[in-house]
């Protein structure tokens, strides 16, 4: 009888643990537990591609407050190069300004990426850059990331030594990178390991129209080393949001990309529309959920409350294996994938 009672308690605890994991839906990344979807803030300061205007700041603040208040996500991703010229560091500064008096500020994390500018020479240059980011964000860095692999590995080791120092001294909690392929990721992870630390995340371009990480060995290496892959541009700059046509193109340089890609991806969009109708979801949510089913955390731009609602509702449910396989098959039939970010390494 006692044995049966013990078994019942064990089963209950396991079930409760599974239920809590399902409810919370977070993924352990290093010392942090991250929501499946994070808020990307590239557009918070980018005029060329996203037509940023300082007059939009009130709307961005409302969106930030909505995400914070409703705890729809628990991490925001930024970079010290998001906003240049007179908007230098704009995205980081907006996050800092928005969060400084927020009573919920302990419920979310800030991840920032430091640019590998060629004039940043030696560890001290990155230490200085990190401290400037901290000043703009009004808080230590939760995930400190190298934005891209330096050309010819210029100063790469020195940058990472600076990152290790910053973590050890409490300026940052943990280290991540961005735009690294499997070979480069192994190289930089080995450098960090020699300092007694580890890289815990790697941001790469990933979507139904950019599936290279599934084939080049990156996901295998990440799994082996307990590195969490994070997919950015999960909607392929908006192509997979199904909100544009050849007669209704986005403003700016994206219009050229959309003219080229909208016709050939129509078969994929048709299947996504069918799945969206079946699931009572939006096409964009189908695209984001596909990325989640591939083991990636998803980074997606959020500028409005409407986008906040739509993008965060891409988690908390699952496409079936057969639905994922169907999307894989149709995506593979598309004659070309989105060109990879030129900063990405092998």
Among 148, 93, 158, 95, smallest CA distance to 125 is for: 158
Among 220, 239, 191, 219, smallest CA distance to 339 is for: 239
| Residue 200 is among the residues annotated as catalytic for this protein | no
- Residue whose token pair is 């190069």: 81
Contact (Cβ atoms closer than 8 angstroms) between residue 192 and residue 198: yes
Contact (Cβ atoms closer than 8 angstroms) between residue 144 and residue 339: no
Q: How far apart are CA 119 and CA 174, in angstroms?
A: 25
Among 132, 135, 130, 119, smallest CA distance to 168 is for: 130
Q: How far apart are CA 324 and CA 314, in angstroms?
A: 14
Q: State the greatest distance between any 2 C-alpha atoms of the chain, in Å, as a whole number.
A: 74
Residue of 82, 108, 109, 200 marked catalytic: 82
Q: Which helix (H) or strand (E) holds 65?
A: helix 57-70
Q: For 184, left (φ over 0), alpha (ψ -120 to 50), or beta? A: alpha
Q: How far apart are CA 245 and CA 253, in angstroms?
A: 15
- Residue whose token pair is 């989105």: 338
Among 201, 205, 249, smallest CA distance to 226 is for: 201
Q: How far apart are CA 145 and CA 227, in angstroms?
A: 13
How many residues appear in the chain?
A: 346
The two tokens of residue 80 are 């010290």
Active-site residues, by number, are: 82
């Amino acid at each position: 009888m006692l044995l049966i009672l013990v078994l019942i308690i064990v089963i209950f605890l396991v079930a409760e643990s599974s239920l809590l994991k399902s409810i919370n839906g977070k993924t352990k990344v290093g010392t942090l537990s991250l929501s499946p979807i994070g808020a990307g803030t590239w557009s918070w300061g980018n005029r060329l591609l996203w037509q940023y205007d300082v007059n939009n700041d009130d709307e961005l603040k409302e969106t930030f407050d909505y995400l914070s208040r409703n705890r729809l996500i628990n991490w925001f991703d930024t970079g010290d190069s998001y906003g240049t010229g007179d908007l230098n560091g704009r995205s980081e500064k907006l996050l800092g300004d928005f969060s400084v008096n927020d009573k919920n500020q302990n419920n979310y994390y800030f991840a920032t990426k430091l640019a590998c500018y060629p004039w940043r020479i030696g560890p001290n240059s990155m230490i200085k850059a990190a401290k400037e980011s901290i000043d703009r964000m009004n808080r230590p860095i939760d995930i400190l990331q190298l934005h891209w692999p330096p050309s010819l590995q210029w100063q790469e080791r020195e940058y990472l030594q600076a990152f290790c120092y910053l973590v050890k001294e409490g300026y940052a909690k943990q280290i991540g990178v961005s735009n690294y392929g499997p070979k480069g990721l192994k190289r930089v992870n080995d450098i960090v390991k020699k300092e007694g630390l580890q890289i815990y995340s790697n941001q790469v371009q990933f979507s139904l129209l950019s599936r290279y990480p599934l084939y080049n060995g990156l996901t295998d290496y990440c799994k082996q080393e307990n590195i969490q892959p994070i997919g950015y541009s999960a909607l392929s700059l908006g192509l997979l949001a199904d909100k544009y046509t050849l007669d209704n193109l986005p403003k700016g340089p994206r219009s050229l990309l959309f003219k080229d890609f909208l016709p050939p991806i129509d078969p994929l969009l048709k299947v996504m529309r069918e799945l969206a109708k079946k699931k009572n979801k939006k096409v964009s949510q189908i695209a984001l959920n596909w990325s989640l089913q591939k083991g990636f955390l998803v980074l997606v731009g959020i500028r409005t409350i409407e986008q906040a609602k739509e993008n965060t509702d891409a988690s908390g449910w699952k496409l079936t294996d057969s639905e994922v396989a169907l999307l894989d098959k149709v995506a593979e039939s598309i004659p070309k994938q989105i060109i990879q970010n030129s900063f990405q390494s092998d």
